[in-house]
Structure 1
């Protein structure tokens, strides 16, 4: 197998009339998805070259996923840009990609014109009027290699310019040959998609469904701030599988969603992106006692996830949930000071990963690629690329990896090295706190804690003095209605710090 289109083609052949994708406005069967994708692919083969990036300028919808597959049929790779993103960021992404064509629904074309986009904007509906050209599609497919790029997702860059993580067919195939079967995702499942399509969590939804013949429900972003709408959606579509960011799960429990309705068809909950507060997970476990829960870890650069931990018990509020062990065919190890291999229990090191699941690098950015994708310092005998995640971890007594924060969240304060996640773990263990986040104001050299819940500042400080050393107690404690999150569903520390200015 060398092309992810084989997943779609097998499901279209086996389940032609089964619903593949559903959004609030439209749906399509596997046969319709297959036919429309081939129409789009045929059209694109006349207007761009294989191997080129094609932008899908849409919010998540049936048309966006159909466009993805059409782009792949043309031998190209896709990047989705949400039209709601700031114009400056859209301009930066387009400058990195240097694409010559964009697919849109026509409702946001004025924004592209304001950005002086020089290429061609194709209306999605026009592409569907194109006939299928089997000869051209066959010619493209015959040249297909599994190392060719499939998609490019953009993350923030330390230089201020977004970095495009370029992922190949082989990396996704390598991951998907294990992922659905390991967590018992089958044709009978309905996956409730939470993640934006420009975030790699959605890759697990898309290709788990296409591989197995399951259905995907694309849940609108606004539902994740209105628990009643979200839970109604999960129940009405009989969703069985949630592969969500931690913040999305915490929103349901923080806003007491289960007092309204329990989506009792859900039998698999896989979460990632941040450390899951044990108190929130316990509420999910209580309300879905028969569901399987799995903690997943991994940055975009290693294609979704590299470790997993099935949660088989209820953790105490102050306990840290492990990130577990590596997925098959992935080598995950820790490097310490001087690139020394760490194997001792409790010793912290940087998480490093090797294997075919690694991304190809950052598109059109060789300098940043060389910094992150490097030769394994433990191997001087042959080329072996590893990705240095910048995340820290340690082994517990069961040889399970436990996340210990980001290197860039490790701060120096009052002469001590402090992990912000360690403070958050303690704060989240207080029953009266729904969610907490810590940030460091480097300008004024002070720690700040932001929290939602029913605990006044005086009592919070009293609790912290009982559980934290003085140098780890934030000098600012700011109650908020809710913790803001980024577009990728992670706590937005930057936005919180703006409250301190």
Structure 2
């Protein structure tokens, strides 16, 4: 596989170059390769089923990156899970993926009572230190083998695992390292947790170009003083994040070229990139270039891009998401599956070698979203968009109830499903609240069960506590509104438009 071959060569030619920096650890390319060989050797002795997925649990640790490579060296895809994910959701993922082994990189205990599941800490793997053997490259994940599996929100109340193969990832990384100005070794900011596929945009382009990953943690993000101290020392050249994260940074006037003098490229993905953010960035970082990208997890991170220029900001109110990468085609289809004319809205369908084979263990969902088009894998995104006469593509929102908030993709039905399970809730509808064409937060409109609370905030706190057992914090609505009834449409479905008007009066 090209990615592993390249990292192996870099471990030989630039062994002392730093591959990864986090608040706790720094590792070189030679250490990354050697430690991942140690992980692979340990896995070899575990007697695992061939190609069975291995769950990697932690938060922005170097040991997670090492474990990723160790897994794929022995032919096993990895499932990255951040410590912010509730344990009940982790159990669902383990059961869905038929996971036999968890590598715990978090340094915390994992309270999982699942038969036939082994949990080994990264520290244990280091202490065992069996005679480390060179894992033959014939064992490596290759071709259509799964490289990683990312779990996203599912409408049934259960997460769904997107399978990304070695070929899928190669297609994406080739595009990143050839079509963007990131040639040669650079310092990449790593902001996104590894259970969020935006992280792939910095991890593998950095490692195959001989660059360095600089990771920042949720603790640093929660304390701006720590974050800005880290950024000041990071020597970041390539910035990868959601627009929401950079918007948070822009609230501090010190976020400018003086703080990050070597910053050369901004890469954005995960949600709509507002014009105003780009204007501020060009003012504060006049030497940096800005790229807007688009893509779902199912097509390996991103498939379109455009460089955002000052001229573009002066001429259009909404930014395009660009044009597809060279090996990929985007179609715009109407409700009958026919291509629409240039300028007309249609569902975006992605065709090409970076499109996933489907959802792990969920053939019905896979058949609904994936199909073959002229011999290539295709994916129905559920996103509405159009192409203008110059070939630029514009994203126009979801055609269903799936949304992106602060870069995280989620399905409103899943959140509603979990809220409705609360002992204090009869019915719930989750409404995205927009500000300037961008989702600012989620609001839950609820018909409550009888309860003993005197104040609404006490009821809200109790509901949040219950649903926090099943949903990550970023999926819990910011505001709660309590109603005696919720309007429905003539065909018996929730009337979301009427609900939104009612709760925002």
TM-score range relative to shorter protein: 0.7 to 0.9
What CA distance in whole angstroms lies between the structure 1 residues aligned with 2:36 and 2:338? 49
Per the alignment, do residues 169 and 493 of structure 1 end up closer, same or farther by CA in structure 2, a change over 3 Å counting? closer
What CA distance in whole angstroms lies between the structure 1 residues aligned with 2:366 and 2:62? 33
Per the alignment, do residues 229 and 185 of structure 1 end up closer, same or farther by CA in structure 2, a change over 3 Å counting? same
What CA distance in whole angstroms lies between the structure 2 residues aligned with 1:282 and 1:88? 42
Cα drift, residue 498 of structure 1: 2.8
What CA distance in whole angstroms lies between the structure 1 residues aligned with 2:256 and 2:120? 46
Given that 2:72 and 2:141 are in contact with CA atoms closer than 8 Å, whether structure 1 keeps it comes out as no
Give the aligned partner of residue 78 of structure 2.
78
What CA distance in whole angstroms lies between the structure 2 residues aligned with 1:34 and 1:155? 29
Given that 1:394 and 1:403 are in contact with CA atoms closer than 8 Å, whether structure 2 keeps it comes out as yes
What CA distance in whole angstroms lies between the structure 2 residues aligned with 1:109 and 1:251? 32
Cα drift, residue 496 of structure 1: 3.3
- The answer as to 2:487 corresponding to 1:495 is no
Q: Secondary structure at the match of 1:178?
A: helix
Describe the superposition over 1:262-305 as per-residue Cα deviations: whole angstroms up to 9, x where unpaired: 32211100101111121122111110011010000000000011
- The answer as to 2:429 corresponding to 1:437 is no
- Provide the aligned C-alpha RMSD in A: 2.9
What CA distance in whole angstroms lies between the structure 1 residues aligned with 2:98 and 2:332? 37
Given that 2:278 and 2:308 are in contact with CA atoms closer than 8 Å, whether structure 1 keeps it comes out as no
Give the aligned partner of residue 116 of structure 1.
114
Per the alignment, do residues 326 and 106 of structure 1 end up closer, same or farther by CA in structure 2, a change over 3 Å counting? closer
Per the alignment, do residues 177 and 410 of structure 1 end up closer, same or farther by CA in structure 2, a change over 3 Å counting? closer
Give the aligned partner of residue 368 of structure 1.
365
Give the aligned partner of residue 199 of structure 1.
196
Q: Secondary structure at the match of 2:310?
A: coil
Per the alignment, do residues 143 and 7 of structure 1 end up closer, same or farther by CA in structure 2, a change over 3 Å counting? closer
Q: Secondary structure at the match of 2:336?
A: helix
Give the aligned partner of residue 3 of structure 2.
4
For this pair of structures, how many residues does the alignment match? 430
- The answer as to 2:410 corresponding to 1:407 is no
Q: Secondary structure at the match of 2:293?
A: strand
Given that 1:42 and 1:130 are in contact with CA atoms closer than 8 Å, whether structure 2 keeps it comes out as no
TM-score by length of 1: 0.79
More deviation, 102-111/210-219: 102-111
Give the aligned partner of residue 41 of structure 1.
40
TM-score by length of 2: 0.79
Cα drift, residue 93 of structure 1: 0.7
Cα drift, residue 254 of structure 1: 3.4
Q: Secondary structure at the match of 2:435?
A: helix
Per the alignment, do residues 398 and 318 of structure 1 end up closer, same or farther by CA in structure 2, a change over 3 Å counting? closer
Give the aligned partner of residue 29 of structure 1.
28
Q: Secondary structure at the match of 2:208?
A: helix
What CA distance in whole angstroms lies between the structure 1 residues aligned with 2:473 and 2:38? 40
Give the aligned partner of residue 60 of structure 1.
60
Cα drift, residue 178 of structure 1: 2.0
Q: Secondary structure at the match of 2:143?
A: coil
Give the alignment of 1:237-252 within 5 angstroms.
237-252=234-249
Per the alignment, do residues 161 and 231 of structure 1 end up closer, same or farther by CA in structure 2, a change over 3 Å counting? same
What CA distance in whole angstroms lies between the structure 2 residues aligned with 1:281 and 1:493? 27
Match of 1:280 among 277, 282, 294: 277
Given that 1:163 and 1:362 are in contact with CA atoms closer than 8 Å, whether structure 2 keeps it comes out as yes
What CA distance in whole angstroms lies between the structure 1 residues aligned with 2:482 and 2:265? 39
Give the alignment of 1:97-116 within 5 angstroms.
97-105=97-105, 107-112=107-112, 115-116=113-114
Give the aligned partner of residue 465 of structure 1.
none
Given that 1:294 and 1:308 are in contact with CA atoms closer than 8 Å, whether structure 2 keeps it comes out as yes
Q: Secondary structure at the match of 1:337?
A: coil
Is there any run of 5+ residues in structure 2 with no aligned partner, and where?
Answer: 404-430, 448-467, 484-505
- The answer as to 2:436 corresponding to 1:425 is yes
Given that 1:81 and 1:198 are in contact with CA atoms closer than 8 Å, whether structure 2 keeps it comes out as yes
Give the aligned partner of residue 258 of structure 1.
255
Cα drift, residue 441 of structure 1: 6.7
- The answer as to 2:294 corresponding to 1:292 is no
Cα drift, residue 439 of structure 1: 5.8
More deviation, 20-29/390-399: 390-399
Give the aligned partner of residue 333 of structure 2.
335
Give the aligned partner of residue 89 of structure 2.
89
Q: Secondary structure at the match of 1:111?
A: coil
- The answer as to 2:115 corresponding to 1:149 is no
Per the alignment, do residues 286 and 11 of structure 1 end up closer, same or farther by CA in structure 2, a change over 3 Å counting? same
What CA distance in whole angstroms lies between the structure 1 residues aligned with 2:396 and 2:183? 34
More deviation, 52-61/155-164: 52-61
Describe the superposition over 1:209-262 as per-residue Cα deviations: whole angstroms up to 9, x where unpaired: 111100001111233343333232122021111111111111112354537963
- The answer as to 2:185 corresponding to 1:185 is no
Per the alignment, do residues 262 and 145 of structure 1 end up closer, same or farther by CA in structure 2, a change over 3 Å counting? closer
Describe the superposition over 1:62-88 as per-residue Cα deviations: whole angstroms up to 9, x where unpaired: 111011111111111111222332121
Describe the superposition over 1:152-210 as per-residue Cα deviations: whole angstroms up to 9, x where unpaired: 11000011110011100111111111212221213431001011111111112111111
Q: Secondary structure at the match of 2:158?
A: coil
Given that 1:246 and 1:274 are in contact with CA atoms closer than 8 Å, whether structure 2 keeps it comes out as yes
Q: Secondary structure at the match of 2:477?
A: helix
Given that 1:191 and 1:239 are in contact with CA atoms closer than 8 Å, whether structure 2 keeps it comes out as yes
Per the alignment, do residues 130 and 493 of structure 1 end up closer, same or farther by CA in structure 2, a change over 3 Å counting? closer
